[in-house]
Structure 1
Amino acid sequence: MVADDAATSQPTTGGAAASRPRADDADRAAGRPSGPRAVARRLGRDRGAVVGAVIVVLTTLVAILAPVITRAVGVDAYSYNLDLLDDLGLPVGPFGGVSAAHPFGIEPQTGRDLFAIVVEGTRTSLSIGLGATLLSMLIAIGLGVSAGYVGGWWDALISRITDVTLGFPHLIFMIAISALIPATAPRVLVMIVIIGVLGWPSTARVLRSRTLAVRVRAFVGASRAMGASELHVLLTQVLPNLVATIIVFTTISIPGKITAEAALSFLGVGVAPPTPSWGRSIGNAVTWVSTDPWYLLFPGAALFLVSLAFNIFGDGLRDALDPRTGEHR
């Protein structure tokens, strides 16, 4: 698990806080460099993590600039081009209708530009993935850290809730809830809430375990002995030592949330048409794969590439924050 390398406690002046032991003393004593610069150097030496980071940044830029990109190329994700389809609803021309005007071809039956659909779908899928991850992490931090730090009956209650949530059939529940939501509801927000509320248990369990380990450390006991309140200890000693774990779990959780949205859209209970979505495009493409396999290629490749990039980057970030995890590879 992620160690405390990246965690630091900012010194303050006056009273017990001035002489409070710093959280990264153990790292210095062990001879391991700590701090953002050391983490950046270790991350930069991992070529896979760098490539993953570049893809993540480019994907984020595409999501932010999606309308600008589609206008610059001269395509629109909502315009129907029925004149580019044959009598069977298939694109006219090779490779699914790929041409200078339509770089990725066009969508069967509707004639919508597939490049615009993939680009606009990046915004939809990434927004849901990031929003659901943020919501699930907030829940996981609140419940996991408080359970590990407070202990007692609260820890027992949160642990039982976590067990029940982990054993819950998430996909079936998400399908049922999504099917009950009115079509007029903001589907992106609905997907964020559904995926985020059900996506916290595994992270909360890890944060609880890490909190249990940190709260018995010497510098935490010293802070209490110097008169620091429990809230002060939690905010200035315990939480900073969990930052590395939180960052890594946030990074590696995003692709899972994007895939969950894709699965719901694939099953027809995700984002409502005509809003572009990778998952819905993949779901539609399955019915055309025997006659127009190129329709499946581009949205499927986008989903695969982004998920792989987040996972590789998260793996490299974990090793950079805790060099000991990479020593045994």
Structure 2
Amino acid sequence: MSETDAATDIPPARDVVSGSSPSPLSGEASSNRVPAADIGRVAPSGVWGRLRRNGSAMFGAVIVVVTILVAVLATPITRMLGLDPYSYDLSALDASGLPAGPMGGISMAHPFGVEPQTGRDLFAIVVEGTRTSFFIGMGATILSMIIAIIVGVTAGYFGGWWDGLASRGTDVILGFPQLVFMIAISAVIPATAPRVTVMVLIIGLLGWPSTARVLRSQAMSLRSRTFIRATQAMGASQLHILVRQMLPNLVATIIVFTTISIPGKIGAEAALSFLGVGVTPPTPSWGRSIGSAVTWVNTDPWYLLFPGGALFLVTLAFNLFGDGLRDAIDPRLGEAR
């Protein structure tokens, strides 16, 4: 599921506790009215119950949790198994430099086989690459979401010259061919620069416009609601309205876009590493492993299978989880399908 698809599926911001738009202020008593402080807040128990009944979302959630654990515990896992992604093992290769034995040299010593010409353990490379790719994807997502929230919500709420400036800036960034621009920037960064940090900044700074557009449109809808006007009439500060009134009503959109943005950012890192402008050798990375494996696909297809399969599985898992989470937060979307 792409961010554009999610944008069309997420309805305008509303009171996700009561399931309806905040009602106008009146003297009429109602047992269904939600206090102003609770407007738009997601009820975790209800979301979890609906999410738990979605098999594909739970499958995605399990893979996501496993990926996070592997990323965090990558080094302890490889050390516990006595494997090292940097050590050469020429004894695992034949005279032509290909892995000795069937299926890319898979054995008890090398569960995923070995890398051609070097004999490095492929299981250790994939596990350590999980940390590199996941943390770059997560860091870039966090950075892009922070920018999107600040730009989108403030532009939609304040309007005027700031909205015009933010909208034009968003259009300019969307107009760039992002992958080409990322390649160009990555190519001119000095080799001594910390590549992981550089990748997070490049991908994150270019990955926020589509989310900002959705948040802007929902913030514009929210600012005309009665509960926002009432809060303004009572003399609340702009910061209070943005933090305590606007953001809680946008939390569902923010959560969904965060979950579906992560695989896109991981894919961007993989694409840059595949093209040789991402993380530098010998740092393990799924994209760099896939790029290296392409040259060996005819003689050692197993080399491509495991890093490529890891990238595919994690991307699929985040999309399934994000799709299920969106339906769990707003069950009307699932019923409409």
Partner of 1:67 in structure 2?
75
Partner of 1:111 in structure 2?
119
For each residue in 1:155-209, what CA deviation from the matched residue of structure 2 results, as whole angstroms up to 9, or x when unmatched?
0111011011101011111111111112121111110000000000000000001
For each residue in 1:283-314, what CA deviation from the matched residue of structure 2 results, as whole angstroms up to 9, or x when unmatched?
00000000000000000000000000000000
- How far apart are the structure 2 equivalents of 1:274 and 1:328? 49
Do structure 1's residue 83 and structure 2's residue 91 form an aligned pair? yes
Partner of 2:59 in structure 1?
51
CA contact (8 A) 1:4 1:322 kept: no
Task: Tell me the CA shift for residue 229 of structure 1.
Answer: 2.2
CA contact (8 A) 1:5 1:321 kept: no
Partner of 2:224 in structure 1?
216
Decide whether aligned partners of structure 1 residues 192 and 313 sit closer, same or farther in structure 2, where only a CA change above 3 A counts. same
- How far apart are the structure 1 equivalents of 2:215 and 2:197? 26
CA contact (8 A) 1:7 1:243 kept: no
- How far apart are the structure 2 equivalents of 1:112 and 1:289? 17
Q: 1:22 aligns with which of 30, 36, 45?
A: 36
- How far apart are the structure 2 equivalents of 1:155 and 1:233? 17
Matched-pair identity in %: 72
Partner of 1:233 in structure 2?
241
Q: 1:253 aligns with which of 241, 247, 261?
A: 261
- How far apart are the structure 2 equivalents of 1:289 and 1:153? 54
Whichever residue aligns with residue 4 of structure 1, its letter is R
Decide whether aligned partners of structure 1 residues 4 and 40 sit closer, same or farther in structure 2, where only a CA change above 3 A counts. farther
Whichever residue aligns with residue 271 of structure 2, its letter is A
Do structure 1's residue 280 and structure 2's residue 294 form an aligned pair? no
Give matches, 1:197-216, under 5 Å: 197-216=205-224
Do structure 1's residue 173 and structure 2's residue 177 form an aligned pair? no
Task: Tell me the CA shift for residue 151 of structure 1.
Answer: 0.2
User: What's the Cα RMSD here?
Assistant: 1.8
Decide whether aligned partners of structure 1 residues 165 and 212 sit closer, same or farther in structure 2, where only a CA change above 3 A counts. same
For each residue in 1:211-264, what CA deviation from the matched residue of structure 2 results, as whole angstroms up to 9, or x when unmatched?
011111111111112222222211111111111111110110000000000000
Give the gaps of 5 or more residues in structure 2: 1-9, 19-33
Task: Tell me the CA shift for residue 136 of structure 1.
Answer: 0.4
- After TM superposition, the score normalised by the length of structure 2 is 0.90
Task: Tell me the CA shift for residue 22 of structure 1.
Answer: 1.9
Give the gaps of 5 or more residues in structure 1: 9-19, 28-33
CA contact (8 A) 2:70 2:130 kept: yes
- How far apart are the structure 1 equivalents of 2:62 and 2:144? 25
- How far apart are the structure 2 equivalents of 1:185 and 1:246? 32
- After TM superposition, the score normalised by the length of structure 1 is 0.92
Secondary structure at the aligned position of 1:88 is classed as coil
Task: Tell me the CA shift for residue 72 of structure 1.
Answer: 1.6
- How far apart are the structure 2 equivalents of 1:182 and 1:26? 46
CA contact (8 A) 2:256 2:326 kept: yes
Query: How many residues get paired?
Result: 313
Q: 2:148 aligns with which of 134, 140, 145?
A: 140
Task: Tell me the CA shift for residue 65 of structure 1.
Answer: 0.7
- How far apart are the structure 2 equivalents of 1:251 and 1:4? 20
- How far apart are the structure 2 equivalents of 1:4 and 1:121? 40
Secondary structure at the aligned position of 1:223 is classed as helix
Partner of 1:126 in structure 2?
134
Task: Tell me the CA shift for residue 26 of structure 1.
Answer: 8.6
- How far apart are the structure 2 equivalents of 1:197 and 1:26? 29
CA contact (8 A) 2:16 2:39 kept: no
Whichever residue aligns with residue 316 of structure 2, its letter is L
Give matches, 1:146-161, under 5 Å: 146-161=154-169
Q: 1:4 aligns with which of 14, 24, 31?
A: 14
Partner of 1:12 in structure 2?
none
Whichever residue aligns with residue 270 of structure 2, its letter is A
Q: Which moved more, 1:293-302 or 1:43-52?
A: 43-52
Consecutive aligned runs of 4 or more in structure 1 exceeding 6 Å deviation: none
Task: Tell me the CA shift for residue 272 of structure 1.
Answer: 0.3
- How far apart are the structure 2 equivalents of 1:168 and 1:7? 39
- How far apart are the structure 1 equivalents of 2:17 and 2:222? 11
Task: Tell me the CA shift for residue 74 of structure 1.
Answer: 1.4
- How far apart are the structure 2 equivalents of 1:328 and 1:193? 38
Partner of 1:14 in structure 2?
none
Decide whether aligned partners of structure 1 residues 227 and 264 sit closer, same or farther in structure 2, where only a CA change above 3 A counts. same
- How far apart are the structure 1 equivalents of 2:166 and 2:79? 49
CA contact (8 A) 1:77 1:114 kept: yes
Decide whether aligned partners of structure 1 residues 215 and 98 sit closer, same or farther in structure 2, where only a CA change above 3 A counts. same
CA contact (8 A) 1:118 1:298 kept: yes
Decide whether aligned partners of structure 1 residues 7 and 135 sit closer, same or farther in structure 2, where only a CA change above 3 A counts. farther
